Amino acid sequence: MKICRSIESLAEALAERGQRRVGFVPTMGFLHAGHLSLVKQCREDNDLAVVSIYVNPAQFGRNEDLDRYPRDPQRDIALLENERTDLLFLPDSGAMYPPGYATYVSVEGLDAVLCGASRPGHFRGVATVVLQLFNLVRPQRAYFGQKDAQQAIVIRRLVRDLHLPVQVIVMPIVRDSDGLALSSRNVYLAPAERLAALHLPQALQRADALVRSGVLDSRAIRTAMRNELERDPLLASEYIAIVGLPDLLETPVVDLNNTLIAAAVRVGRTRLIDNLLLGDLSC
Amino acid sequence: MKICRSIESLAEALAERGQRRVGFVPTMGFLHAGHLSLVKQCREDNDLAVVSIYVNPAQFGRNEDLDRYPRDPQRDIALLENERTDLLFLPDSGAMYPPGYATYVSVEGLDAVLCGASRPGHFRGVATVVLQLFNLVRPQRAYFGQKDAQQAIVIRRLVRDLHLPVQVIVMPIVRDSDGLALSSRNVYLAPAERLAALHLPQALQRADALVRSGVLDSRAIRTAMRNELERDPLLASEYIAIVGLPDLLETPVVDLNNTLIAAAVRVGRTRLIDNLLLGDLSC
């Protein structure tokens, strides 16, 4: 695996791509099996599998966890070697925003709801760094996890609006054996918090059971989810959203082919998200 | 000359580009000799000369002249044929912002000063449409007029920040025989307004004469320019800026290699801009 630590060396390494199909997995590192499922698919679909690890400062709010976000590049490198990654882009923290950097991309509307409502500027940071990375790597395909469903929807819209020649592929959520969706931030959880956090996937399981039993009324589903989330005082619900795709507008009735049921909670200082997707996010 | 009226037909026409070097001149039409100087250079430098004509709604403010902006596509087509343009992209007014369009690009800081101060959102609209057009046309070189110097600076920053593989070439201001910089908006001017408007290039000539005589104090230059602009009550000065490149920050002393002296005025309902460039805007 070739490791490029600067934009210049990445550009140089990719100049020799020729006609090879390039797949790309952008990450913030501290890789888990969710990330690796993206890398495996990327490896399978393409001639050249490119992964980036960059904890993107522009997508963190002032009071968020940029400084303490978990990092373990040596372990990540070993995991990526093991998945036969061809190229790892591992730039310095300031590399994507050099002095004088001024250009930011917003996917308006989509960036203001759900996680965007509680994390102003977050999706502007995501869209900006992903656009930069897409322009540097120029992949035919890019892989994102469904756990960050809103992120995938924002990127999908960005790709369409800006005519980027990249296929966005969204892979299913990977869960731990207890049901918690894998996230680099799970490492923050103390044991009691981890137990409390399980009410998040359980709330989504309740929503899933209701929908499967024919209950499509969003209010009834939201109430059942809220009841589940309120069962542990360590957990505070941030939002429960039942929204249509691709516009993320609240819907009173679930469309079985086109709905995202998503929730965010706080467990202690840790913010966790999870969702249930009825439909398809890829493009 | 091939004329593409949709994004799809443009993509199809450019798919056959092979190894040919593509040059691109984005315009809002109602072409004059300034535009044509860009097309000539584009024709000279590249294998394929692509021009777009699109009156971009996103770069007009609510109370601006979008509706009355001059248009004459038949005349434009004849002029471009005459310059041996290979391809004209002439989309419908809504084509670049279809229903659900959400993605906007801002070049922050640079978009808030000079013309950006009086036209909020203007450069966001410019940056957004130019990024879309660059992604569709994928030119090796793109041509802009120095008359819109701030626009060229914004695009140059956008290109650098987003790692776009395009060379930005800025061509000199083309003037009418009376000294007025060519602009599609000059057609708005009544005869008395046209005479009043000449104080704009004359103010820049005074600045140029002062600089050449060794006067580098911005305050003295600005005073001389203001005196010139105040000579006709039909003309109202909007701004006189003496700024460094590429950051467009006011400078107390002119750097002969790196300064933009720019002014905007209103003559009746018509807004006009002009500038004197000490240095180079291309990249």
CA B247 vs. chain centroid, Å, equals: 17
Domain assignment present for residue B84? The answer is yes
What does the pLDDT look like over A122-149, one tens digit per residue?
A: 999 999 999 999 999 999 999 999 999 9
Same domain for A114 and A141, yes or no, is yes
Chain A residue with CA closest to B95: the answer is A161
pLDDT in tens, A203-238: 999 999 999 999 999 999 999 999 999 999 999 999
Which amino acid is located at A136 in the chain? Answer: L
Here the ipTM equals: 0.96
If asked whether residues B114 and B243 sit together in one domain, one would say no
Residue A125 included in any domain: yes
**What is the pLDDT confidence band of residue B283, given thresholds at 50, 70 and 90?**
low
**Band of the pLDDT at A281, cuts 50, 70, 90?**
confident
Residue among A110, A136, A163 minimizing CB distance to B102: A110
Q: Are A215 and A271 in a shared domain? A: yes
B133 and B188 in a common domain: no
Of the residues A171, A192, A216, the one at which a domain ends: A171
Indicate whether B280 pLDDT > 90.
Answer: no
Q: What is the CATH number of the domain that holds B207?
A: 3.30.1300.10
Residue B282 within any structural domain of the chain: no
Residue A162 shares a structural domain with residue A51: yes
SS3 of B187, please?
A: helix
Within 8 A of B109 by CB-CB distance, chain A residues are 102
Residue A176 in any domain: the answer is no
Which residues 195-254 of A are in CB contact (within 8 Å) with B?
Answer: 246-247
Mutation target among A161, A166, A168 for the B interface, most CBs of B within 10 A: A161
Rounded to a whole number of angstroms, the distance from the CA of A215 to the nearest CA of chain B is: 30
Summarised one tens digit per residue, pLDDT across range A155-174 is: 999 999 999 999 999 999 99
Q: In B, which residues are within 8 Å of A108 by CB distance?
A: 102-104
Closest CA to B58 of B130, B112, B108: B130
How far does B11 lie from chain A, in Å, by closest CA? 10
Name the DSSP class of B184: G
CB-based contact, A107 to chain B, within 8 Å: yes
* Residues A88-110: tens digit of each pLDDT: 999 999 999 999 999 999 999 99
Query: Whole-angstrom Cα distance, residue A18 to residue A22?
Result: 10
Closest in A103, A157, A164 to B157, CB measured: A103
Residue given tokens 């439909």 in the structure block: A279
CA distance B123 to B59: 6
A to B CB pairs, distance under 8 Å: 66
What the block records as the tokens of A229 is 């989330």
What domain count does chain B have?
2
**Is A150 in the same domain as A17?**
yes
Percent of chain B at pLDDT > 70 equals 99
Same-domain check for residues B155 and B197: no
**A277 and A171 in contact (C-beta within 8 Å)?**
no
Do the beta carbons of residue A144 and residue A168 sit within 8 Å?
yes
Query: A11 lies in which domain range?
Result: 2-171
Q: Residue B162: which of A103, A108, A161 has the nearest Cβ? A: A103
Q: Where are the alpha helices (DSSP H) in B138-198?
A: 149-161, 191-197
What crossing angle do the helices spanning A149-161 and A122-137 adopt, rounded to 10°?
60
Determine the average pLDDT of the residues in B252-259. 96
Report the candidate in B235, B217, B234 with the shortest Cα–Cα distance to residue B226. Answer: B235
Q: Is the domain of A137 the same as that of A250?
A: no
Pick A100 or A16 by higher pLDDT: A100
Q: Give residue-wise pLDDT tens across range B76-135.
A: 999 999 999 999 999 999 999 999 999 999 999 999 999 999 999 999 999 999 999 999
Using the Cβ of A129 and the Cβ atoms of chain B, whether some distance falls under 8 Å is answered with no
Is residue A7 within 8 angstroms of chain B, CB to CB?
Answer: yes
DSSP E strand stretches across A134-244? 141-145, 167-171, 235-244
Q: Are B135 and B122 in contact (CB under 8 A)?
A: no
Q: Is residue B199 situated within a structural domain?
A: yes
Q: Do B111 and B13 share a structural domain?
A: yes
CA dist A136 and A151 (Å) reads: 20
**Cross-chain residue pair A163–B136, CB shorter than 8 Å:** yes
Strand locations in B166-258, DSSP E?
167-171, 235-244
* Within a domain: A44: yes
The answer to whether residue A166 sits within a structural domain is: yes
Same domain, A163 and A78: yes
Q: Which position has the token pair 């626009």? A: B151
Q: Is B137 on the interface with A (CB under 8 A)?
A: no
For testing contact with chain B, the best of A126, A153, A163 (most B CBs within 10 A): A163
Domain check: are A111 and A214 in the same one? no
Domain boundary among A111, A145, A171: A171
DSSP code, position A187: G
Nearest-CA distance A106 → chain B (Å)? 5
Q: What is the CATH number of the domain that holds B123?
A: 3.40.50.620
Calpha distance B43→B22 (Å, rounded): 9
Q: Tell me if B179 is assigned to some domain.
A: no
C-alpha to C-alpha distance for B45 and B24, rounded to whole angstroms:
10
CA gap B283, B278 in Å, rounded: 15
Domain end position, chosen among A146, A171, A196 = A171
A251-262 per-position pLDDT tens digit: 999 999 999 999
pLDDT exceeds cutoff 90 at A280: no
A162/B101 touch (CB, cutoff 8 Å), yes or no: no
Q: What is the predicted pLDDT for the residue at A16?
A: 86
When the pLDDT of each residue in chain B is averaged and rounded to a whole number, the result is 97
**How far apart are the CA of A196 and the nearest CA of chain B, in angstroms?**
37
- Kindly give, in sequence order, each residue whose CB lies less than 8 Å from that of residue A19, ignoring residues fewer than 6 positions away: none
pLDDT for residue A283 is more than 70: no
The answer to whether residue B272 neighbours chain A at the CB level (below 8 Å) is no
Number of Cβ atoms within 10 Å of the Cβ of A62: 6
- A43 plus A85 within the same structural domain: yes
